[in-house]
């Protein structure tokens, strides 16, 4: 199994990071995409030197950190991709939930990082979160992104309308599905995923965030990929083994495109 979006470098894992990784591998989650989304985090890649066969990396500047949108940081970001295991630019994007007044700054940061992704011929991982008043971030994103990226992309932690899922799939984007799919009231997400189908989906835990229903309120970790796959199996009437096979193909097609 593959966890296509983790934050195992987060300080919440400082006391038991290796134990969490080993537990996840023992349970069958043996490929991780670690997402490092601030200049302050990029050097944490070294935390995973003991697992050369298990980890891939994505580097970017999250929309929360618009103050990092400097020439120096953008040049430093480009230098992270000298390693072949560094496979994507992200997570980057728009977050109007926490910063509704910083759309212009976020768009500037987003444009600069898309330019880097195009220059380096890398795919992208997008963080998109609407404000509390509507679907504004997704609308802004889709209007902004037209014709701008060269490679495929992931919309991480997808949480929008069915029409947004269809729009993303039509653009060749993958939908990152986390354990919120297990929440009983999340009917809209499950319907959107059923509509776009497994060929357009990746499983991600976003650890340590967004745990599955069975441990809601506790720290998440990559072993909860199993919960996501089981939910997708129930949703699609496909066996878990078939789901795992398709998700694996989607992931390696994404990083090797």
The predicted-structure confidence for 177-221, as pLDDT tens digits, reads as follows 999 999 999 999 999 999 999 999 999 999 999 999 999 999 999
Contact 234, 226 (CB under 8 A): no
Is pLDDT of 118 > 90? yes
pLDDT band at 160 (very low <50, low <70, confident <90, very high): confident
> Cα–Cα distance between 72 and 253 in angstroms, integer?
32
Structure pTM?
Answer: 0.96
138-166 residues labelled b (16+ CB within 10 A) or e (exposed): bebbbeebeeebebbbbbbbbbbeeebbe
* Structural domains of the chain in order of their starting residue, each with its CATH number: 2-255 (3.20.20.140)
Model pLDDT, residue 135: 84
Model pLDDT, residue 240: 97
Strands (E), 7-67: 31-36, 55-59
The predicted-structure confidence for 32-59, as pLDDT tens digits, reads as follows 999 999 999 999 999 999 999 999 999 9
């Amino acid at each position: 199994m593959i966890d296509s979006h983790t934050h195992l470098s987060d300080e919440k894992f400082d006391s038991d990071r290796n134990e969490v990784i080993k537990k996840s591998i023992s349970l069958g989650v043996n490929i991780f995409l670690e997402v490092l989304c601030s200049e302050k985090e990029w050097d944490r890649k070294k935390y995973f030197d003991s697992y050369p066969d298990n980890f891939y990396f994505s580097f970017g500047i999250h929309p929360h950190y618009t103050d990092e949108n400097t020439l120096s940081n953008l040049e430093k970001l480009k230098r992270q991709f000298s390693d072949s295991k560094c496979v994507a630019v992200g997570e980057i994007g728009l977050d109007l939930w926490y910063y509704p007044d910083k759309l212009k700054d976020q768009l500037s940061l987003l444009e600069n990082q898309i330019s880097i992704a195009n220059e380096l011929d890398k795919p992208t991982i997008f963080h998109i979160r609407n404000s509390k008043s509507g679907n504004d971030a997704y609308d802004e994103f889709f209007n902004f992104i037209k014709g701008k990226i060269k490679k495929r992309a992931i919309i991480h932690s997808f949480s929008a309308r069915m029409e947004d899922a269809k729009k993303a799939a039509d653009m060749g984007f993958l939908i990152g599905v986390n354990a919120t799919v297990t929440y009983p009231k999340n009917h809209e997400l499950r319907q959107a995923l059923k509509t776009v189908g497994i060929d357009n989906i990746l499983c991600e835990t976003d650890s340590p965030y967004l745990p599955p229903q069975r441990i809601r309120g506790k720290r998440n970790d990559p072993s909860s990929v199993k919960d996501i796959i089981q939910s997708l199996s129930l949703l699609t009437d496909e066996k878990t083994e078939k789901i795992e096979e398709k998700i694996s193909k989607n992931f390696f097609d994404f990083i090797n495109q």
